């Protein structure tokens, strides 16, 4: 098992200040419930890793990136996607929301998970929410 996976539970427990979602519940969205403290920590960690990848990407866009910098961006992008998937799998398990393929899920202010339908005729290319 990789070092990152071994240390992930410690990283999650080490999250002190949460980064709450900023999007309000929208029209046509149904609130399914709120996520637990553990999932809030995973979401916060995901947001932090994604932000670090984005910022490093912007920085190297304006300079010649070294192989180390390019590798770090790729590492952070993969880890942020993994954390996002872990979050959504946990949220769907917690709230018992494994449903049909035409429903999508989102996270809103107050740690609320919402359900909304895709427009008719739209093929769901995303297999998991949040992608």
**How many domains does the chain contain in total?**
1
- Which pTM does this prediction carry? 0.84
pLDDT digits (tens, 9 = 90+) for 25-66: 999 999 999 999 999 999 999 999 999 999 988 888 888 778
Please give the Cα distance from 11 to 123 (Å, whole number).
Answer: 36
What mean pLDDT value characterizes the chain? 88
Does residue 42 belong to any structural domain of this protein? yes
Does residue 102 belong to any structural domain of this protein? yes
What mean pLDDT do residues 84-93 have?
96
pLDDT digits (tens, 9 = 90+) for 57-78: 888 888 877 888 888 999 999 9
pLDDT of residue 22: 95
CB-based burial, 58-76: b 16+ in 10 Å, e otherwise? eeeeeeebeeeeeebbeeb
- Is 60 exceeded by the pLDDT of residue 124? no
What mean pLDDT do residues 102-116 have?
92
Range of the domain at 62: 20-117
pLDDT of residue 131: 47
């Amino acid at each position: 098992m990789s070092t990152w996976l071994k240390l992930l539970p410690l990283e999650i427990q080490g999250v002190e200040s949460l980064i709450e979602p900023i999007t309000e519940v929208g029209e046509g969205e149904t609130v399914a419930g709120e996520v637990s403290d553990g999932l809030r920590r995973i979401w916060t960690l995901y947001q932090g890793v994604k932000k670090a990848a984005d910022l490093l990407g912007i920085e190297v866009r304006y300079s010649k990136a070294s192989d180390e910098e390019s590798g770090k961006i790729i590492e952070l992008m993969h880890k942020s996607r993994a954390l996002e998937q872990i979050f959504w799998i946990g949220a769907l398990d917690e709230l018992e929301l494994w449903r049909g393929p035409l429903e999508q899920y989102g996270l809103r202010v107050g740690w609320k998970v919402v359900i909304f339908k895709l427009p008719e005729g739209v093929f769901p290319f995303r297999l998991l929410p949040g992608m």
